């Protein structure tokens, strides 16, 4: 088989998705999906407290399963042709590790302790700690939040570490340092056994941990220890340098060579946050906003450094090289999107599915689950659009951007006794679209133009109604690309460069990035009505945009 073979792996909220690709031809040779078993069972999570944790064994077991599926039909000589493996993960999803890079949950006595596990991006148990970081940052000589939109979030690295340090002294005591999931996965794949040797990725460091070259890297030791004395034992155990995903992390570990037959010189490249690789997989270009839409959204934008972009307040940061090396990467997003639709589905179906006297068969349950969105979409699409329609804000999981505030709850207006499921679904879809518009408005308020909007992820490929509403609300065309796996595809692109198949990311994108498969055009009549509804949405959110 001619060409350099590479693997891209995307660690999402629920599962790992893998692609085996011939980087020379762009042909996808095999795909695999593996779901996190413990997460699926709801273990270690407490939604009522906004606690969401994932056990490292879920990742470890899924990696083995994905490799098994990707390679099962390949002869040994073909497996040895795999030159590089790229990965991305959710973020900020940090974990406490010992000096040998083992997550504390893999250490004796901590196996069932949620505080010793990966703290998922959507965990908001650290709201109080984030507030303290923001207060101190505004008093400090250097405002370390200035490249993070001016507001530090409870979703991010330092907030979560501080929270665990306070609520679980035992975990804090045995933790040598803390590592993002996007750094730990390549460390595990390469068999890295010293925490000090982990190459930290610029995506997570810049957007989630306030790393920036202009102030010497991470926040100073003095800042962290002034924040809380529990940081003293972690001093000098973090990092100064960061790396982009077009750089090599290391070579694959001995375990994977023996079990799966990889060549011992197979390269592992530096990791990244999933949406950042998703933007590259969708064909990122200057001033193109790429919306990676799933359970939440990440809105990614790259701007040439020579354009000297301004500091934009209220977003998830702007970092040189965090998405495309050589460009300034901007990140914004909504903390819930598909999760909001799933909330409605669960709320409406759960009482029915749990009624014992109905004696629903497995097939009937499946029909209810599978056909729910099709049914409410038809209802919603048939409802005439008026300026007096019901409204929802999109803060079911707090507000990420603009202006992070995870104490915010969703607000609804216009519910009557005539309100039906279709009305609610329509308002929820429109609310998520309004949230997307608020993000674009924030960029434009800083004179950053948005020339093109691309939507990628599971929802854009499965829910035309949602994308059409988005186009009408945004008052612009929305392009959808021909791959649901742009995050894994982005990892493939970076792995191809590390493997030597292409000289740089831009060249690799020409051959490997997803292509536009459909364009949703704005309906001017509906856009005019949505413009008025958007004003009402802003009044509900109390946002100044």
Q: What is the pLDDT of residues 403-446, one digit of tens each?
A: 988 889 999 999 999 999 999 999 999 999 999 999 999 999 99
Rounded to whole angstroms, the Cα distance separating 261 from 450 reads: 46
Closest CA to 95 of 149, 153, 168: 168
Res. 3: pLDDT tops 90: no
Please state whether beta strands 452-456 and 412-413 pair in parallel, antiparallel, or not at all (unpaired).
unpaired
Torsion, CA 343, CA 538, CA 153, CA 302, rounded to 10 = 100
Residue with tokens 């979703």: 155
HSE-CB at 429 with a 13 A cutoff on CA atoms is 28
- Give the mean pLDDT of 274-286: 96
Q: What ranges in 100-156 are assigned the alpha helix state H?
A: 127-139
Q: Which residues contact 393 (CB under 8 A, 6 or more apart)?
A: 408, 410, 411, 412, 431, 434, 435, 537, 540, 541
pTM across the whole model = 0.92
Q: What is the pLDDT of residues 51-103, one digit of tens each?
A: 999 999 999 999 999 999 999 999 999 999 999 999 999 999 999 999 999 99
- Residue 342 in tokens: 């799933």
End-to-end CA distance of the chain: 54
Q: What is the pLDDT of residues 376-394, one digit of tens each?
A: 999 999 999 999 999 999 9
Closest CA to 181 of 163, 206, 201, 196: 201
Q: What is the pLDDT of residues 198-241, one digit of tens each?
A: 999 999 999 999 999 999 999 999 999 999 999 999 999 999 99
Q: Is the dihedral of CA 159, 165, 166, 171 positive or negative?
A: positive
CA 192 to chain centre: 25
In this predicted structure, what is the pLDDT of residue 484?
84
In this predicted structure, what is the pLDDT of residue 450?
96
Q: List strand residue ranges (DSSP E) for 214-326, in order.
A: 248-251, 267-269, 288-293, 297-304, 318-320
């Amino acid at each position: 088989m001619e060409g350099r073979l590479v693997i891209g792996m995307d660690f999402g909220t629920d599962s790992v998705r893998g692609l085996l690709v011939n980087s020379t031809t762009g042909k996808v040779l095999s795909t695999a999906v593996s779901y996190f078993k413990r997460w699926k069972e709801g273990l270690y999570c407490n939604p009522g407290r906004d606690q969401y944790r994932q056990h490292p064994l879920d990742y470890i077991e899924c990696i083995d399963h994905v490799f098994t599926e990707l390679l099962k039909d390949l002869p040994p000589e073909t497996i040895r042709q795999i030159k590089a493996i790229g990965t991305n993960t959710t973020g900020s999803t940090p974990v406490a590790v010992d000096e040998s890079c083992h997550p504390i949950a893999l250490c004796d006595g901590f196996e069932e302790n949620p505080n010793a596990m990966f703290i998922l991006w959507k965990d908001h148990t650290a709201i109080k700690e984030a507030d303290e970081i923001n207060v101190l940052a505004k008093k400090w000589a250097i405002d370390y939040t200035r490249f993070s939109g001016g507001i530090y979030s409870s979703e991010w690295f330092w907030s979560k570490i501080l929270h665990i340090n306070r609520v679980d002294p035992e975990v804090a005591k045995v933790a040598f340092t803390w590592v993002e999931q996007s750094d730990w996965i390549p460390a595990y794949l390469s068999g890295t056994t010293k925490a000090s040797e982990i190459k930290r990725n610029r995506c997570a460091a810049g957007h989630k941990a306030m790393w920036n070259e202009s102030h010497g890297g991470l926040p100073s030791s003095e800042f962290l220890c002034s924040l809380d004395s529990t940081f003293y034992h972690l001093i000098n155990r973090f990092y100064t340098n960061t790396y982009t995903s077009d750089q090599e992390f290391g070579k694959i570990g001995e375990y994977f060579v023996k079990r799966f037959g990889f060549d011992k010189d197979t390269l592992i490249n530096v990791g990244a946050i999933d949406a950042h690789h998703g933007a590259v997989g969708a064909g990122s270009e200057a001033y193109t906003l790429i919306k990676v839409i799933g359970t939440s959204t990440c809105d990614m934008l790259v701007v040439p450094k020579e354009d000297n972009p301004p500091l934009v307040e209220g977003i998830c940061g702007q970092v040189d090289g965090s998405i495309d090396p050589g460009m300034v990467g901007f990140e914004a997003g909504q903390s819930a999107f598909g999760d909001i639709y799933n909330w409605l589905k669960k709320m409406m179906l759960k009482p029915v599915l749990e009624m014992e006297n109905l004696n629903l068969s497995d097939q009937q349950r499946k029909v209810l689950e599978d056909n729910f969105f099709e049914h409410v979409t038809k209802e919603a699409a048939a409802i005439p659009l008026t300026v007096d329609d019901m409204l929802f804000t999109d803060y079911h999981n707090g507000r990420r951007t603009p202006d992070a505030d995870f104490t915010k709850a969703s607000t609804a207006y216009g519910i009557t006794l005539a309100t039906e499921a279709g009305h609610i679904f329509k308002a929820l879809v429109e609310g998520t679209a309004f949230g997307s518009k608020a993000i674009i408005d924030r960029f434009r308020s800083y004179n950053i133009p948005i020339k093109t909007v691309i939507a990628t992820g599971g929802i854009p490929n499965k829910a035309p109604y949602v994308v059409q509403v988005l186009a009408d609300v945004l008052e612009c065309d929305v392009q959808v690309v021909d791959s649901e796996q742009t995050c894994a595809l982005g990892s493939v692109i970076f792995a191809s460069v590390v493997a030597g198949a292409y000289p740089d990311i831009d060249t690799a994108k020409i051959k490997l990035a997803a292509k536009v498969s459909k364009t949703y055009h704005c309906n001017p009549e509906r856009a005019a009505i949505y413009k008025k509804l958007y004003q009402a949405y802003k009044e509900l959110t109390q946002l100044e945009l």
